[in-house]
Amino acid sequence: MDSKASAPSLIDLINQAIARELQVSIQYMFQHSLGTAVSVQMQADALAARQSKFVGSHSSIWLPGTTLRKIAITEMRHAEAMAERVSQLGAEPTTQPAPITLGHTPTDMLRIDQAEERSAVALYRQIVEAAAQEGDRVTESMFRRILADEEKHLRTFSGLLGQAGAGPAPAA
């Protein structure tokens, strides 16, 4: 497999994409698990609050629920499809996820995830373009399909952030 010195090769780009998919599939699934744990604790707190006639202020905290779990599974399927493509191209798919960040509150999590989807959209547009330039129609159409999923995820996270009443993330 030949590689170019300056620009990353298509294989390198797809491996970057796989690392991201592995990252977010774990990230979203664990955020879902944490959310479930918080939800159980909130129910217990709400019950205790009712019994003590105290209304907990966090009873209105919104949680991502099963949305994150569903998206996590979609991301794992993306990783699978990409790994198959790298193998078909005669290279080895990475098994290393990019760094995982969970966040502490539902709003934190959604902001982190919204940023992940934005980065995915940018990278996958780059891959669609690189594949088209190389005349690799299979990779191009695969990434067009996956790009549409990521755009949907971005809309979902942005919509959920809106419902949670969260403004845009402060500039870093």
For position 153 contacting Fe ion by CB under 5 A, the verdict is: yes
Stretch that binds Fe ion, among 55-63, 103-111, 125-133, 142-150 (CB under 5 A): 142-150
For position 113 contacting Fe ion by CB under 5 A, the verdict is: no
The DSSP H or E segment spanning 41 is helix 10-51
Asked if residues 31 and 68 have their Cβ atoms less than 8 Å apart, the reply is yes
For position 150 contacting Fe ion by CB under 5 A, the verdict is: yes
For position 85 contacting Fe ion by CB under 5 A, the verdict is: no
* CB within 8 Å of 36: residues ≥ 6 apart: none
Residue 128, CA atoms < 13 Å, CB-side half-sphere: 14
Stretch that binds Fe ion, among 54-62, 88-96, 150-158, 164-172 (CB under 5 A): 150-158
CB of 116 to Fe ion, least distance (A): 7
For position 75 contacting Fe ion by CB under 5 A, the verdict is: yes
Asked if residues 34 and 102 have their Cβ atoms less than 8 Å apart, the reply is yes
Which residues lie near Fe ion (CB under 5 A)?
21, 75, 78, 150, 153
